[in-house]
Structure 1
C-alpha cells in the first residue's frame, strides 16, 4: 500500500514538472525595442530668382542750399516752412533801395557815355571829310579816331555796369530754383543778410535716390552673374530693386540702378551704387535707412532644404541624412541664401537625399529610424526673406 502511494506521488510530481516545462516553452519571446519615428524631407532642386538684401540710405535727387548773393536787410519771407514749393516761387525779399539807387546811377553814366560817343563820332565824320583837302593833319585825324574808339568802349563799359546793377537788384528777390520741400527759415525778417548767408534748404523728393555700397566679394560675384545675364541680352537696368522701409513694410514702387561708381573705395573695400525710385506720394524723405531687396535678372536652379533641418555645432552647419537602410548620418553642409523657409545648399548634399526635419532630439548618428515623409510645399518667389 505504501509502495503504491509513493508511485502515485512520483507520477504527480512528474506530471506537474512536465506541465511546467511545457508552459515555459510556450511563453512569448521578449519584443524588440521600437524604432524612433522622424519626419523626413527630400533635398530638391527648384528654379529660383536669386535675391540679395543690402542696407542703403535715401538721398534727395536734388538738394539745394538757398544762399544770399548780396548784402541787405531782409524785408520778408514768402513761404510756409516745411511746405512744398514750385520752381520760380518767391522765397525771400531783401531791401532793394540801395541797389535801385546804384542802377539809377549807372543809367546816368551810360547816358553820359553815349553822349560822349555821339560827339566823338560827329567829330570823326567831320575830320574824315576835311582830311582830303588838307584842312586837318593826319595826326589830328588819328586823335579823332582814337577819341571815337575810346568813347565807344566807354559806352560798352557803361552798359555792362548797368547790367551788373540790374543783376544785383534782381538778387534782392530770392526765388526757388527747383520744385521741392523747403526747410525752416534760417534767417528772420529784419536780419542783415550778407553774401553767402545760408537762408534755407530745398530738397526734391521726386524721384528719390537710395545710395548703397557693394562689398568687393559681392561685386565680383555680381559681375560674373551679370556677364551670364549679358549673354541673354539682359541689361543692368533690368535688375529689379525692391525697398523695405524702416517699419518693415515694402515700398510700393520698384526701383532701378541708375549709377555705378568707377572705382572701389580703398578704405572700405566697397563700390558705391545708386538706385532711383518714384516717390509720387512723397512717403520717403532723405536720410532714411532702408533695406534694398535686389533681384537677379536671371533664374537658376538651386538645391533647397527646409531651415528646420539645419543644426549647427563647432564644426559648422549640418543636417541628419538617412541612407537606404534608414540609418542616420551626420552631414556637414555649405549653405547659401535663404528662400522663404528654405536654405540654398551649395555643398554637402545631393538632389533626392532624405534629411530629418522633425524628431532630431530623438536621434544620433548610426541609429536606425522609422521615417515618415513630409509633404513638400513648392517654393514661392515672394516668400524670400
Structure 2
C-alpha cells in the first residue's frame, strides 16, 4: 500500500477517536430513577349500622298430619288438592254404617238399663216405707239397696257405651283442625282405611317461621358489641329482620325473633333461633332456603378500609401503609365484617393512616413511592354486611 494512503488512514482514525472522546466528555449525567406511583386511601372512622346475613329455612307455623282414627271404607274426598282450607271444612268421609249400627245397639242397652234402674228405685222406695213397720226384714232391704246401686251403675256403663259409639261415628267425618293449605291426598275413594292411616297433610302459611342458627361465639360478640354501643341491654324486640328470597328479591315484610333456644347445640356449637313473618300474600312456603338480614338496633363508629387494599400471606391479612416520608410499611391487620366495598378494621391500623389501594404489584416494604389520593365514595347504610 502506498505510504501516502497509509498516512491518510491514520489521520482518519485519529480524527474519529477524537470525536468519540469529545462526545464522551460532553455526555449528560444519568437521570434519577422515577418513583413508582400508587393510589392511596386514608383510613377513616365512620358511623355504621351493622347488618349480618344468615341463611335460614322456612317452616310452617302449624304442620298437621291428617290421620284416620277408625277403620272403614273411604266414601269420598271433599277438597281439591293444593287448595287453601278453612278450619272446620269437611275433608274425608268414611262409611258410617257399621258405627251407626253399634250406636243403635248401645242405645237399646241403655234403655234396658234405665228401665231396670227405675224398677230398682221404686222397689227400694217401697221397702223404705215398709221397713219401719217390720213388714220386711233388714236383709231384704239390703238386697233392694244393692239392686238399686247395681242398676244405677249399669245405666252409667250403658251411657258411656253410647258416648263411645257416638264418638266413633263422629270419626267417620274428618274435618280440618286448622286453616291452611292442603297437600295431595294419600288415599283414594274406595280404599279400606285402617286406624292411624296418613290421609293428607295440612300446613299453616300465616305466619311463617324461619329457623336459623347462630354460632355461640358470634352471639356473645354481638351482644357485647350491641351493649357497648348502646350502653344498655339489647332486647330481642329491638332487632329488625329483613328477608331475601331464593330468587334474590327482597321480601316485602319485616320479621321479628320470637324464639331463642335455652341451650346451645353441643354438636354444632350453635344456638337455634326462630324468626316470624306474617306472610300475608303466602309467597313463602315451608322448606325454602332464604337469607335473613339482621340489622343492628344501634349505630356505632368503625374504622373502614377498601377491600382492594387487603392482601394475605402466611402471616395473615395485611395492608401497605405509607409513613410521613411516603415510604412503604407492611402492616398486619385484624378484620371484621364487610360493608359493601369496605372492610371493618378491628386492630392493626389507626384513623388517618394512608394505605395503598392500587399499584400494590409495583411496591415492596421499605421503598419510597409517589402517592396519589383516591377519590372516596361515601359508605351507604343501605349496603348490607354479609357474615
Q: TM-score, normalised by structure 1?
A: 0.90
CA offset at residue 28 of structure 1? 5.7
Tell me if structure 2 keeps the 8 A contact 1:309–1:357: yes
Q: 2:124 & 2:43 partners in 1: Cα distance?
A: 102
Residue 324 of structure 1 aligns to a residue whose secondary structure is: coil
Residue 382 of structure 2 aligns to a residue whose secondary structure is: helix
Tell me if structure 2 keeps the 8 A contact 1:38–1:356: yes
Corresponding residue for residue 217 of structure 1: 217
Residue 217 of structure 2 aligns to a residue whose secondary structure is: helix
CA offset at residue 228 of structure 1? 4.5
Corresponding residue for residue 244 of structure 2: 244
CA offset at residue 319 of structure 1? 1.0
Q: 1:156 & 1:113 partners in 2: Cα distance?
A: 9
Corresponding residue for residue 269 of structure 2: 269
Corresponding residue for residue 201 of structure 2: 201
Count of residues paired in the alignment: 366
Counterparts of residues 279-298 of structure 1 (less than 5 Å) = 279-298=279-298
CA offset at residue 145 of structure 1? 1.3
Q: 1:214 & 1:102 partners in 2: Cα distance?
A: 57
**RMSD of aligned residue pairs (Cα, Å):** 2.1
Corresponding residue for residue 176 of structure 2: 176
Residue 381 of structure 1 aligns to a residue whose secondary structure is: coil
Q: 2:116 & 2:231 partners in 1: Cα distance?
A: 75
Corresponding residue for residue 316 of structure 2: 316
State whether structure 2 residue 69 is matched by structure 1 residue 93. no
Counterparts of residues 220-239 of structure 1 (less than 5 Å) = 220-225=220-225, 227-228=227-228, 232=232, 234-239=234-239
CA offset at residue 350 of structure 1? 0.3
CA offset at residue 53 of structure 1? 2.2
Q: 1:373 & 1:224 partners in 2: Cα distance?
A: 36
State whether structure 2 residue 350 is matched by structure 1 residue 350. yes
Tell me if structure 2 keeps the 8 A contact 1:229–1:297: no
Q: 2:84 & 2:137 partners in 1: Cα distance?
A: 72
Provide, for residues 184-223 of structure 1, a one-character-per-residue CA deviation record: whole Å limited to 9, x for no partner: 1000000000110000011111111111122222232234
CA offset at residue 117 of structure 1? 0.9
Unaligned 5+ residue runs, structure 1? 1-16
Corresponding residue for residue 374 of structure 1: 374
State whether structure 2 residue 256 is matched by structure 1 residue 256. yes
Tell me if structure 1 keeps the 8 A contact 2:229–2:299: no
Counterparts of residues 137-152 of structure 1 (less than 5 Å) = 137-152=137-152
CA offset at residue 255 of structure 1? 1.3
Q: 1:33 & 1:332 partners in 2: Cα distance?
A: 30
Provide, for residues 106-161 of structure 1, a one-character-per-residue CA deviation record: whole Å limited to 9, x for no partner: 11111111111111111111111111111011111111111111111111111111
Tell me if structure 2 keeps the 8 A contact 1:51–1:293: yes
CA offset at residue 229 of structure 1? 7.4
Tell me if structure 2 keeps the 8 A contact 1:229–1:235: no
Counterparts of residues 300-315 of structure 1 (less than 5 Å) = 300-315=300-315
Unaligned 5+ residue runs, structure 2? 1-17
Q: 1:223 & 1:331 partners in 2: Cα distance?
A: 29
Q: 1:229 & 1:108 partners in 2: Cα distance?
A: 78
Q: 2:165 & 2:366 partners in 1: Cα distance?
A: 95
Residue 382 of structure 1 aligns to a residue whose secondary structure is: coil
Change (3 A) 1:229 1:352: closer
Residue 251 of structure 1 aligns to a residue whose secondary structure is: coil
Residue 267 of structure 1 aligns to a residue whose secondary structure is: coil
CA offset at residue 324 of structure 1? 0.7
Corresponding residue for residue 13 of structure 2: none
Change (3 A) 1:117 1:227: farther
Residue 376 of structure 1 aligns to a residue whose secondary structure is: coil
Q: 2:74 & 2:362 partners in 1: Cα distance?
A: 81
CA offset at residue 226 of structure 1? 5.5
Change (3 A) 1:230 1:28: closer
Tell me if structure 2 keeps the 8 A contact 1:61–1:206: yes
Q: TM-score, normalised by structure 2?
A: 0.89
Residue 177 of structure 1 aligns to a residue whose secondary structure is: coil
CA offset at residue 363 of structure 1? 1.9
CA offset at residue 234 of structure 1? 3.5
Tell me if structure 1 keeps the 8 A contact 2:37–2:372: yes
CA offset at residue 224 of structure 1? 2.8
